[in-house]
Amino acid sequence: MELNKIYNIDCLQGLRQLPDESVHCCVTSPPYWGLRDYGVVWQFGQEETPEAFVTRQVEVFREVRRVLRRDGTLWLNIGDSYASISRQRTEEQVTGGLITGKAHHIACKDQINKVTGSLKRKDLVGIPWMLAFALRADGWYLRQDIIWSKPNPMPEPTKDRCTKSHEYIFLLTKSQKYYFNQDAIRIDSGANRRSVWVMSGANYQGNHCATFPEELPHICILAGCPPDGVVLDPYSGAGTTALVARKLQRNFIGFELNPETIAEAEERLQRELGLFK
């Protein structure tokens, strides 16, 4: 496969076309279970149960582990959801984790999480740790849980719990020893970066409604991918990982099911970097 390209293909099919140990780092955020319908066939997140979702993700990341170099790293951003919760945001623009109320087309829509198995209405599902433990059992080294703390969280009309203002980023590795550039991500004082990253949601004006801020992959790529290395994102979405990789003089490979989202990502890369002219 060519470098610096987002392929319109199912991520499993795409990953199976990559040779063993051909990428240095993976920075990605899968669709969260039961939260949004992206309107494309074979999408992830629509599984009947959380267990089915986790099983499919383990299959994907087993291929990611195969294509990672022995010293490679996986930075996995994953959020949680509640059972049987519905939020209506039709005709509202989601920007930086806030509902602005401005009429705007959204490329995905909220849905109702299913109450299934032992889940009861209003239960926190626990998807991040379910997935992290399943990946560890499948052979990954689970090295760290990082908290993405959001100063501008999505407003929630809840009266019996706190407003959720964080997501998880898991650092997983293929081997006990791996590439990690601690110096590249030190904080201003020169100390090691801590495991709580405070950053606002993305101020992204496009149609994709689940975009993380550029700062997130910026830290991951600096720490986990050497200069001129290859960064993989099997769930490319609006192309944030790809954009940051090129800004940092790294190469990228991405996969995305929705051709309209790819066109949006390519326009973004062309506008900011001059790619895809």
* Contact yes or no for 31/44 (Cβ under 8 A): yes
Q: What is the mean pLDDT of the chain?
A: 84
Question: Strand ranges (DSSP E) for the chain?
Answer: 5-7, 23-28, 36-37, 68-78, 94-95, 98-99, 109-110, 141-149, 166-173, 196-198, 230-233, 251-255
Q: Determine the pLDDT at residue 129.
A: 97
* Between 82 and 58, residue with greater pLDDT: 58
Give residue 260's identity as a one-letter amino acid code: E
* Between 261 and 49, residue with greater pLDDT: 261
Kindly write down the DSSP assignment for every residue of 117-148, as one continuous string.
TT--TT-B--HHHHHHHHHHHTT-EEEEEEEE
Nearest Cα residue to 135 out of 212, 187, 78: 78
Residue range 55-67: average pLDDT? 96
Reported as a single tens digit per residue, the pLDDT across 87-122 is 443 333 333 333 333 323 334 444 455 666 788 888
* Contact yes or no for 239/247 (Cβ under 8 A): no
Is the pTM above the cut of 0.75? yes
Percent of the chain's residues with pLDDT above 70: 78
Q: Determine the pLDDT at residue 47.
A: 58
| CATH 3.40.50.150 is right for the domain spanning 24-215 | yes
- Where are the chain's structural domains? 24-215
Reported as a single tens digit per residue, the pLDDT across 217-242 is 999 999 999 999 999 999 999 999 99
In the structure encoding, which two tokens stand for residue 33, read together?
């279970």
Reported as a single tens digit per residue, the pLDDT across 137-182 is 999 999 999 999 999 888 888 899 999 999 999 999 999 999 999 9
Q: Determine the pLDDT at residue 8.
A: 94
